[in-house]
Structure 1
Amino acid sequence: MKKLLMTGLTIGALLGTVACSNTADNNDNKAAQTQTQKETTKTEINQEKTINNMAMKITSDNIVNDDTLKNDQSLLAVHFTIKNNGKVDYGVGAGDFYIKDSKGNKYKMYGHEDNFGDVIKPGKTLQGIGYYAIPKDATNLTVVYDKAVDTSKNDKTLEWNIGTPKTAK
């Protein structure tokens, strides 16, 4: 009888241990999924924002291959769509934006031949890509519009949280 009781307790303890370890794994997986969802939902990709009658939107971002950078840097490509809803021509380009990380570090436009920039006529839309050299381990990034040449001394800026960029496939 004692042997049967000991065997039953041993089997019960083993089953309890296995059940608890699976629960812990499931909790870890759920926590990782929740963190990924939070990072995904925090971004403001495709969110239109307006300043000075200019409707601006970041449509996507990704890390692109570039052999001219230092080993600890990546090249971030940010895709913009900008519409002039005003009544006068408006000049805008990649140099009017910079990247900011969660520590407050700023990364300005990288001298890439494909950086966008043009004067947008009223009612017209400009689409283009801005390139920015960022650290390889950069996370929780924000794109900031801060017109490079602002004669109006306007302190207003726009910001889009783009999260952590992904490498192009």
Structure 2
Amino acid sequence: MMPIKNLAKYSRDKLGGTMKPFNKNLSIIFIIALMFILSACAMDKNDENSDINKTIRSNKIDMIVKNLVVSNSQSGKKDTMMLEVEMEFKNNSKSDYGVGAHDYKVKDKDGEIYIAYAMEPDNFGDVISPGKSMKGTGYYEIPKNTKNVSFIYQPKKESLAEWNLTVPDRKR
């Protein structure tokens, strides 16, 4: 009979019922893998209500919000932050199509509308040739504690597309 203090070092072999030494390295690898899996699940829950990577087609243009980044406000206002919306476009029409950050608006839960930050020279804007793609980032100054927004494609008076987005907590 094995002393109880040594019992924890052994595991039962399923086939023969014999006792074999338990591999510490295997258990450490298993615990690390489990931590990665659980942390990935936690990250997915934060974005499960977000339309990141959702393709919306309007006027034969595929539009995708690829990523959101929060950075410090460029205006110097302490109660605001800069929401950077990274997008991709593909022109599936037979003619040139112009898109720009000023065609999009951010709307918060209170219905307040925020337009592209005019002082940001890196706001996207270009004409996309038929069959071609484009990537770009739009910059929108929003209140600091904003958690969820609607991102609206509104090149004229009518809204043509809308994404529901969860604003990330971390800042660049």
Q: Could you say what the CA RMSD is over the residues aligned between the two structures, in angstroms?
A: 2.0
* Contact 1:76-1:165 within 8 A present in 2 as well: no
Q: 1:67 and 1:160 mapped to 2: Cα distance?
A: 25
Q: Which moved more, 1:111-120 or 1:38-47?
A: 38-47
Q: Equivalent residue of 2:47, what SS?
A: helix
Evaluate the alpha carbon distance shift between residue 104 and residue 67 of structure 1 in structure 2; reply closer, same or farther with a 3 A threshold: closer
Unaligned runs of 5+ in 1: 1-33
Report the structure, 1 or 2, having the larger strand content.
2
TM-score, normalized by length of structure 2? 0.70
Q: CA deviation at 1:156?
A: 4.5
Q: CA deviation at 1:104?
A: 1.1
Q: Which residue of 1 aligns with 2:127?
A: 119
Q: Does 2:72 match 1:69?
A: no
Match of 1:131 among 135, 139, 142: 139
TM-score, normalized by length of structure 1? 0.71
Q: 1:58 and 1:69 mapped to 2: Cα distance?
A: 27
Evaluate the alpha carbon distance shift between residue 42 and residue 165 of structure 1 in structure 2; reply closer, same or farther with a 3 A threshold: same
Q: 2:159 and 2:143 mapped to 1: Cα distance?
A: 27
Report the structure, 1 or 2, having the larger helix content.
1
Q: How many residues align?
A: 131
Q: 1:165 and 1:89 mapped to 2: Cα distance?
A: 34
Q: Which residue of 2 aligns with 1:159?
A: 162
Where does structure 1 differ by over 3 angstroms across 4 or more consecutive aligned residues? 34-39
| Match runs of 1:19-58 below 5 Å | 39-58=46-65
